[in-house]
Structure 1
């Protein structure tokens, strides 16, 4: 005999089914008012306290980004299960409330691997990488076994070799590396990002099974590390193994061919891209443009760009960089303006390319116009763009504007600190550079070799020799930075500027780079500046004996022997210079007036509008003489 359930139970089940269906429709609509309507229906039927329906509503609000409503639903559920806690945790993290999410995580009566994964992923997404790895370490201390998804998250956010090796050790510990293709690919990509291509290769060759993503990851790792030949070898091995290239493979190998300047191989791959229809992908087309421009075929690059049916940011960035690379900066700026008129949205790469150009770094008007566009398009908060603006203002000598941008940055990476320190140092603001350096250390940002080059240059340009020597001597012990050629060059230049030539020579002779010609050339320039002809002759002759490729020692000796009237020696040096195929390198001076850059060569007599220019220079010279006479008279009157 079958006993039918009571009518009240049937009605309850019917209500649950109906409300569950309404929640499902609301999810499909993705509409906040619809979610509120379902919530109101649940409250009317007193089913908002039902665990399953409450969880579904909680998940609905989470998907809509309504974290406050999700919190209200959470508190209305009397019997919460692990899913209830995990859904709210996910909602808070999605809304960027990582600290609130962490508090909720600590309050959870029980946690599963999903809870740990959510918190690790949330911290990583918010940029708190050290916090994410701290949670991973705590997870291991409590004996919670990490899943392959946990380790994939950790691999995707690792920013140092130490973190990468920690992730890899956990993969090996849990026996997931060789059999899990997805996790293996994550490890290859992680090591590739960190320029540890040897480890990436080890992971790749240890995998039981590889797929196309595995091949793409290892090829990309070799390409990013500058191992272009190895990247091509793996591409051929991939082809032999029966894998066909996709758009990612094609763009990566085209970039490799560009780096190798191997146009023949690049065009072979281009033919395959044409057959496979890859050229409709703007990333592939951008790689083709880059390849042609790097191989000196800008005409072909422009042709590819013009044949594209639609412009987008990737294409415009690629041809823009090609114009700048080949020195066609006016054409590049014209294209930039046309692209804006065609409503092609600029990216951080667009602004970085334009701001780093010679035109922006020589024209205040143009630089400030581009800065206005940056603010107008909302990229002033982007770190890459902000660093480019910082660098541009530093090169223009507008260090106050550079500092304003620097202090307005919400978060500062090592590039920002290095740029402002280097800019201040080169503009003779050594004390301010040292002050920024101290601020950097207080912010727990570790200096690298570039930082210390900036500090040494700052000390050199402002004559703070003793401070510079202290920084140099404490580099390895205090900052953990190994002294290399650039640091020795800064120190030699510093001593040279200060006229401490003998001390500079001792530094070179006792350094591990005592055979490096660039250091001796720096000392030679310092000797010439300080008019120490005897010392100059000794060093120049030393450079000649080592068959220096620079024309500097030959020119210095020619000048010295000319002054001394040693005409036979002059002829000997000039003959050696001709035999070794060396030519005098001409320097240039330039000044930007009304968006036109005037370039002057040494000893140049005629120039565009030269008569007017030299008339103005004569007038300025006369004004300076008058002011000097007036100043002298004023001092005499004061004295009397």
Structure 2
């Protein structure tokens, strides 16, 4: 025999079986009997195998018996002695297909799948013909490696060698392609030949479920019932498909099959039924099924606890966990994470502390998944400091704890901390997962940083994940980059409701209502099912367009899909009808909402206020105060705006009192409305005080205060406010420049007016419109530069409208320039013949200089055209 066999010594401690046999009579040693006994018991070690090996060398010519050699290779693999197994294999003089099969399966059993593949390649290159067990083993290795390329090559050899009808090989091939994400290839393998093998049916059904092709799984199950009887594995998979599709009635039908086939006592089937009822919200039926189970394991207990948590019943979840502990049922980390989720609210803070202590006691505090769950729990109850302590003690080799802490920081507004943690994670050479990427994207407001994370996601292969794609799309939308947002949205392969809703909302929030509605139509055309968030987004777009007809269609769609949509999108429906002026429909929709929440009440209050129904809006506002519904800034700003439009100062003052009481005076929308109100009623000091209380003034609030000062003849102060606005980093818009130019006009600042008019285009790229040019004409006219004003109009890059000529006409009236006034009046009347103002102005000019014939002529023209001078009136 070779050197390896000759050098193998008999070990001192032999197995009990061998020792007893050799003590009796060594000549009676029967290796076949030993191999059979060991194969049945599987109670052998590396030492036992070496002992047997030594006895075989001494008593038999082992190299002449391939069965002995192959069995030794197998035993060495099973005892974890891979080096010895390989050495014995290499010294076998005449290898056969069994030898190669043992090597392939041995490497598989020891999770060395690459070595298994290399052994197969070597076998094939040496000309050995694989059998079904060889193919089954190497296919299993490719499946574990998720290497569908090599898997396809193996299946090609299977087809070539005529083994494609073998159920064992086909089931392995189906499993390989399904787990590698190539479900279409798995289907092709399954349908290559007709088959009654239940294992193949189970493989394709399970593969369909794992690839979220649940409807396909149901179709194949229906086919299967005509060929083969389902077993427990089939029922577990098909019940999972029913759960994913929310097909509870169909699931009940499958449960009937389970009872009929006698598979109800199978623990995996029962657990799948519990999961189906739990996720469908039917915890009574899940509980009944659970207590009927003859045997319950940790999976079934965990499924029940998780079901209670998902249905918001934390108390029952904790009670069941306590019962589980009393019965001394083994708990695993999935049980613990479900219990942690049950404690993730302020009412369960005592339970949170107790479960944390239990985790320390049972030694699971180092587990990264448990650490992440604890971080999330403390984050949900607002204890960010405790979350940070857990993170400091957590094992940081896994990304899951980092992701939990980043999410906690993002959730509580600590944007800088979240981004810093994300950067530290990269410095630790950890690859961000989709959860940490989505969390950090949710707080990114800088396009450059967002693009860097986009590139990182592309590098890490995360763009195929729908949640990452949706987060990127939303991030670009928040940064006002709608084109880039839509490009990312288009690249999402499997769009879900979140991705559709975020893109529709992005268009709606950025004034692209038509695009939002078109996207909603596209969503319906691909048979996607909009949820409440999507309906709210599209209703927001319709509100901006005042599209009552389309709004009614969306409302009808929501009712047809699910009557409970009123509870989800009720506020959006009320807002849409209010914005469209259909107050009776807004009231009807409001009355149909089962529980009046803040959104619905605020929408109706605002709608009533904006449509002039101030008494009804105040009555509903009083109802909100009496029922302790939260009052938001949107509601208060709408009410103040209504008081301004209706010139009701005492109502505005009372509302201001409520605003101070509610602590909303620092909100930008409320503060802007108050500034506008006091400006309208002529109190510029209160106007400034209201502005100073705004915490973060935006372009609207700055514009309102600048315009207020301008209209009250305090142009210099208005321009100083404009400088402060620029210093604060707020960019002016076209409306702001109307206020700035009005300030110049009321203060006679001609040079400053020209400067700011040029600055619009030069510094901010804003093209002046007729309102801006009218302000300049007013500025020149007030300064007595009527001819310059006329030249200015003639040189305008756009065609002057009636407002520009009417402004010049007013200046001519002020300075008594009849000829230029007549020209301005003719132009104004030509552009807007239905406006009596131009006729009245030129008539007054002629009257001031005694041209009564002209006055009579102009009055006669007014009568001929049917125009009348409105009578003046006052409050006094």
Residue in 1 aligned with 2:547?
Answer: 464
In 1, the alpha carbon distance for the partners of 2:120 and 2:141 equals 9
CA distance, structure 1, for counterparts of residue 298 and residue 729 of structure 2: 69
2:558 counterpart of 1:475: yes
- Is 1:176 equivalent to 2:263 in the alignment? yes
Q: Measure how far apart 1:551 and its partner are.
A: 4.8
Relative distance call for 1:542 and 1:121 in structure 2 (3 A) is: closer
Within-5 A mapping of 1:373-412: 373-412=456-495
2:234 maps to 150
TM-score (norm. length: structure 2): 0.61
CA 1:283–1:486 in structure 2 vs 1: closer, same or farther (change >3 Å)? closer
The count of aligned residue pairs is 600
After superposition, residues 177-576 of structure 1 pair within 5 angstroms as: 177=264, 179-308=265-394, 310-357=396-443, 360=444, 362-477=445-560, 479=561, 482-498=564-580, 500=581, 502-508=583-589, 511-512=592-593, 518-529=599-610, 532=612, 535-544=613-622, 547-549=626-628, 550-551=630-631, 556=639, 560=643, 563-564=647-648, 566=650
Query: In 2, distance between residues paired with 1:99 and 1:294?
Result: 42
Cα distance, 1:303 vs. partner?
2.0
1:468 is displaced (CA, Å) by 1.4
Q: Aligned pair in 2 of structure 1 residues 543, 156: CA closer, same or farther (>3 Å)?
A: same
Give the aligned partner of residue 27 of structure 2.
none
Greater RCO, CA 8 A, separation 6+: 1
Whole-angstrom distance in 2 between the partners of 1:514 and 1:208: 43
**Alpha-carbon distance, 1:93 to partner:** 4.3
Equivalent in the alignment of 1:6: none
Check if 1:119 corresponds to 2:196.
no
TM-score scaled by length of structure 1: 0.82
Between the aligned partners of 2:657 and 2:509, the Cα distance in structure 1 is 38
Structure 1 residue runs of 5 or longer lacking an equivalent are 1-9, 590-597
- CA distance change for structure 1 residues 274 and 436 in 2, over 3 Å: closer, same or farther? same
CA deviation digits over 1:542-563, x for unaligned, max 9?
4325625355778847984995
Deviation track 1:607-634 (CA, whole Å, cap 9, x = no partner) reads 9x95862698799646664543389554
Distance in 2, matches of 1:118 and 1:70, equals 16
How far did residue 430 of structure 1 move?
2.7
Range that drifts further, 381-390 or 303-312: 303-312
Which consecutive unaligned segments of at least 5 residues does structure 2 have? 1-63, 71-92, 143-149, 670-694, 706-719, 742-754, 759-767, 777-791, 801-826, 828-876
- 2:583–2:607 CA contact under 8 A, matched in 1: no
Give deviations 1:394-425, integer Å, cap 9, x for gaps.
33332221211121122222322222222223
Contact 2:567 2:595 in 1 (8 A): no
Q: Is the 8 A contact 2:333 2:370 kept in 1?
A: yes
1:593 match: none
**Could you say if the C-alpha distance between residues 164 and 625 of structure 1 is closer, same or farther in structure 2, counting changes exceeding 3 Å?**
farther
Deviations 1:456-512 (A, max 9, x none): 2221122322211222234334x45654044342233223334x1644555346635
**Distance 1:471-1:634 versus aligned 2 partners, 3 A rule:** farther
The 2-side partners of 1:384 and 1:346 are apart by 14
Higher CA-based Rg: 2
2:140 is matched with 63
CA spacing shift, 1:199–1:353, aligned 2, 3 Å? farther
Whether the 8 Å contact between 1:537 and 1:560 is mirrored in structure 2 is no
Q: Measure the CA separation in 2 of the matches of 1:345 and 1:219.
A: 32
- 1:19 counterpart (97, 110, 116): 97
User: Which of the numbers 130, 134, 140 marks the counterpart of 2:219?
Assistant: 134
How far apart are 1:281 and its partner, in Å? 0.9
Q: Is the 8 A contact 1:191 1:197 kept in 2?
A: yes
- Find the counterpart in structure 2 of residue 3 from structure 1: none
Q: 1:166 to 1:412 in 2, by over 3 A?
A: farther
Q: Secondary structure at the match of 1:289?
A: helix
Map Cα deviations across residues 51-103 of structure 1 (whole Å, 9 max, x no partner).
xx521232244134332233223422489654454445445545555444434
RMSD: 3.8
